[in-house]
Amino acid sequence: MSDYPEFENKMKKTCDALTSQLATIRAGRANAAVLDQIQVDYYGSPTPIQQVATIATPDPRSLLIQPWDSSLLKGIERAILASDLGINPQNDGRCIRLVFPPLTEERRKDLAKQTRKYGEESKVAIRNIRRDAIEKLKKQQKSSEITEDDYKIAEKDIQKLTDDFIKEIDKITEKKEKELTEI
């Protein structure tokens, strides 16, 4: 796509990070991705829930977490309560059930605001990558590795790359906001 794979890859990774970050925002439906950021104390080391339990979606509004080691039930329950998930886990002694209540209008607005915030943070990251790229080009020009004309062309290319990825971030956040408001 471009002559600057190093910067393009960094920008792509920023978009991928945003996508996975937005997947953790629950949108009314049960989605195991909301547990991605939650860690449970497993024999002294923080471990993602997915690595110590089976997570199933028995119906659209609930998740079933079945730890492989039943001694982890309390730890998983505590980790979920300590997170900002806003759901009370139901522990039946064998597994933990998370029932997702329908989102209130106020909660939807909060989640949409959080989505926009993540999008803005990603745009800042993209712009920082652009700044680093331009600084690198300036150094190359100063040390006579590239000409003034090459520098101007490269600067335009980097700006176009930046604009494209900013549009991509806008699309990703718009899609998530739409998902939050349509439920």
Enclosing domain of residue 68: 32-99
Q: Tens place of pLDDT for every residue, the chain, 183 residues?
A: 356 788 889 999 999 988 888 877 766 667 777 777 788 888 888 888 888 888 888 887 788 888 888 888 888 888 888 877 777 888 888 888 888 777 778 878 888 888 899 999 999 999 999 999 999 888 888 888 888 888 889 889 999 999 999 999 999 999 888 887 765
Instruction: Tell me, yes or no, whether 112 and 177 share the same domain.
Output: yes
Q: How many domains does the chain have?
A: 2
CATH number at residue 88: 3.30.1360.40
pLDDT at residue 3 in the model? 64
Kind of pairing between the strands at 96-99 and 53-59:
unpaired
Instruction: Tell me, yes or no, whether 169 and 127 share the same domain.
Output: yes
CATH number at residue 145: 1.10.132.20
Q: Distance between CA atoms of 143 and 164, rounded to whole angstroms?
A: 30
pLDDT tens, residue by residue, 125-147: 999 999 999 998 888 888 888 88
Instruction: Tell me, yes or no, whether 15 and 36 share the same domain.
Output: no
Q: Distance between CA atoms of 15 and 91, rounded to whole angstroms?
A: 36
SS3 of the chain: CCCCHHHHHHHHHHHHHHHHHHHCCCCCCCCHHHHCCCEEEECCEEEEHHHCEEEEEEECCEEEEEECCHHHHHHHHHHHHHCCCCCCCEECCCCEEEECCCCCHHHHHHHHHHHHHHHHHHHHHHHHHHHHHHHHHHHHHHCCCCCHHHHHHHHHHHHHHHHHHHHHHHHHHHHHHHHHHHC
Instruction: Tell me, yes or no, whether 124 and 174 share the same domain.
Output: yes
Instruction: Tell me, yes or no, whether 18 and 75 share the same domain.
Output: no
Question: pTM (2 decimals)?
Answer: 0.67
pLDDT at residue 1 in the model? 36
Q: Examine the fold and report which residue of 99, 120, 144 is the final residue of a domain before the chain moves on.
A: 99
